[in-house]
Chain A
Amino acid sequence: MNPALIGALQRGDIRRGDAFAVAPAPARCVPSGTFASGFAALDAELPGGGWPRGALTELLAGHEGIGELGLLAPALATLTGAGKIVVLVAPPHCAHAPAWAAAGIRLDCLRLVFPRRPRDALWAGVEALRCGGVAATLLWLDGMFRGGLPANSLRRLQVAAGEGGGAAFCFRPAQCAAAASPAPLRLQLQAAGGQLRVQLLKRRGPPARQAILLDVRQPADFSRSISRVVAGPALPAAGERPEPRRVPA
């Protein structure tokens, strides 16, 4: 190879199309880099070996309730375990504290923000991302805007994430997959049997061809532990059940 070309390839700001980019280092970002997602198969496919800090990550879930939060739970548990703060902006439902605690997430490190107006939701998201004291921000903004997110809002979020240096996870409907996005990392999530199918739509590196199947925390795995009745008489006949079980009275 041409020695001049080899020299050019050694530069930090040049990457080959078939290799991962070096983890992006935004200007004001203090703790740049990545942190482990808790799924080895996913980490191997993510540039830098984990979820990026200081950059927007889009999670395009076909439906809610397929394990999209379970995908983040190990990483959030690690972050909050270290006393880092996680902010949820405009979550779609009430959070059920015992379940979050059971997922290993420290509740005293969680902050939930429920803005009423869409404009406020975007503002709260940008402010949370820009704050250096927040390690990860989870956003559910599409539900707030009736006609879809305004055109430049993802750009604003991406810039804010770069300023604050925390991780940014934006949950969006699957229909947005075709639209262009400034987020450097986009994942499409689908339910696949009992597993979560993760397709990397966009990353700083070679395009991912194969989807990853991940075993996110399955509530059904715990079905064996469901055999206790808090109080009261036995269950009356309740329709057909795949796993009929006698419940001790």
Chain B
Amino acid sequence: MRLDIGASLRLFGGLSGLLERVRADLAAMDIPAQLAVAATPLAALWLARTGGNAVCPDLAATRERLAAVPLPALQLAPPLARRVEDFGLRCVGDLLVLPRAGLGARVGKPLLLDLGRALGEIADPQTCFVFPEQFEQALELPAPVDATPVLLFAAQRLIAALAGWLAVRNGAVREIECLIDHGHGATTALPLAFSAPVHQAARIERVLKERLDAVHLPAPALALRLAAGDVTPREQRSHALFDGAGQGDEALADLMDRLVARLGPQAVQGLACHADHRPERASRPVAGKPSATLQAPPPRPLWLVEPPEALPERHGRPQRGGALVLVAGPERIESGWWDGGDARRDYFIAIDAAGRRLWIFRDPRPPGGWFLQGVFA
């Protein structure tokens, strides 16, 4: 790892103070390291490989120190390393005393360029390290936990970290995976899906709370891990000045996310029409965005009874707590011979003794019979 510390010396109290701090941090994290300070990045790398904690704050000291660096620290390609060894060269100093033009012809231009970079003769621009655009953070629990409120409390730290990570990127996520580690390789995965990209810690917490309430932990949890899915740029919206129109949308998305998290994705539905004459297929639950609507044919009941309820027949009249009075109909619906859901039905609107308006049909094909399929509410 190469750090450009030239600009940070004053902040950390000089070179010695900075080095002390780096060493202390590395020791705290239990990472073995060899430090070297040099005027050029490549020289620092070579010096670090040789060990010995070289500190050469300027170019002259760097040159002096480099001369003693053994050639294996340069990690040359094996054929070149062998050739240079055959010349009798042992350290960088041996290379430097040779005339450059002749050296270039014998060892190739790349090594010559590297020498120039290490000595500060050629500019050596470095590409900055970019943190990976992925959030994954784990938290060891101090003691095994089997109460979900405690887990939620622990997860708040991870969620706060995620919210901060998202805030820096002005991003939002649609999917978050929460892994509960029970030890011995057993984990419980809680994928959190949101209807719209979220970035607020409070919303993520509320959805996670519902998921945690619904889940049954097979064993006490030892660790938590939170990983964010793809990050999308946050949607920028100017808010209405007086009525909180945008807030309403956000509150609704939050509500839907929590309902799905607790009740399951099947329990929350939209509604859409479908072009089919059979009523049970003309209406479809849709999980996502409902499609465009269709104009309805003749009167249809608001409620459908699924599956249709068989009605007894007496004296040729359908019965349901007494004889039903047919007030309208028939409407013949015959469809579906091509897809296995063949239906031929004659629909009537009927009123029962209590004043309920029902949508019933008679199946003219054997064995026939009357069925209740809808309620006009």
A residues whose Cβ falls under 8 Å from a Cβ of B: 30-31, 62-70, 85, 91-103, 106-108, 110-116, 120, 123-124, 127-128, 131-134, 190-192, 218-220, 222-223, 225-226, 228-232, 235-236, 238-243, 245, 247
Residue total for B at the interface (Cβ-Cβ under 8 A): 79
| Closest partner residue, chain A, to B327 (CB atom) | A220
CA distance A241 to B330 in the complex (A): 10
B252 touches A242 (CB 8 A): no
> For residues 248 through 305 of chain B, which have their beta carbon under 8 Å from a beta carbon of chain A?
248-256, 258-259, 262-263, 266-274, 277, 279, 282-285, 289-290, 293-305
Q: Name which of B244, B303, B377 has the most chain A CB atoms within 10 A of its CB.
A: B377
> For residues 335 through 377 of chain B, which have their beta carbon under 8 Å from a beta carbon of chain A?
335, 344, 346, 348-349, 354-359, 362, 364, 374-377
The residue that A242 contacts in the complex, of B263, B283, B325, B374, with Cβ under 8 A, is B325
A134 touches B255 (CB 8 A): yes
Given contacts A116-B263, A230-B277, contact A97 B297 (CB under 8 A): no
The residue that B271 contacts in the complex, of A68, A110, A116, A219, with Cβ under 8 A, is A110
A96 touches B303 (CB 8 A): yes
B303 touches A92 (CB 8 A): yes
Is B106 engaged at the interface, CB distance under 8 Å to the other chain?
no
CB distance from A219 to the nearest CB of B (A): 4
CA distance A128 to B254 in the complex (A): 10
Is B86 engaged at the interface, CB distance under 8 Å to the other chain?
no
B326 touches A97 (CB 8 A): no
Q: Residues of B contacting A219 with CB < 8 Å? A: 299, 301, 328, 349, 357, 359, 376
> For residues 128 through 143 of chain B, which have their beta carbon under 8 Å from a beta carbon of chain A?
none
CA distance A117 to B331 in the complex (A): 38
Q: Residues of B contacting A220 with CB < 8 Å? A: 327-328, 349, 357
User: Top 7 closest A-B pairs, CB basis?
Assistant: A191-B355, A133-B252, A223-B328, A102-B296, A93-B303, A65-B356, A97-B283
The residue that A69 contacts in the complex, of B252, B262, B377, with Cβ under 8 A, is B377
B355 touches A66 (CB 8 A): yes
CB distance from A236 to the nearest CB of B (A): 5
Give 19 A-B pairs besides A93-B303, A110-B290, A123-B262 with Cβ atoms closer than 8 angstroms.
A63-B355, A63-B356, A65-B375, A70-B377, A94-B303, A97-B283, A99-B302, A101-B273, A101-B293, A102-B300, A108-B270, A108-B290, A131-B254, A132-B247, A133-B248, A133-B255, A219-B359, A223-B328, A239-B317
B298 touches A66 (CB 8 A): no
Q: Residues of A contacting B247 with CB < 8 Å? A: 132-133
B328 touches A133 (CB 8 A): no
CA distance A235 to B345 in the complex (A): 9
Is B329 engaged at the interface, CB distance under 8 Å to the other chain?
yes
Q: Residues of B contacting A127 with CB < 8 Å? A: 255, 258-259
> For residues 170 through 214 of chain B, which have their beta carbon under 8 Å from a beta carbon of chain A?
none
A111 touches B269 (CB 8 A): yes
Q: Name which of B255, B272, B304, B348 has the most chain A CB atoms within 10 A of its CB.
A: B255
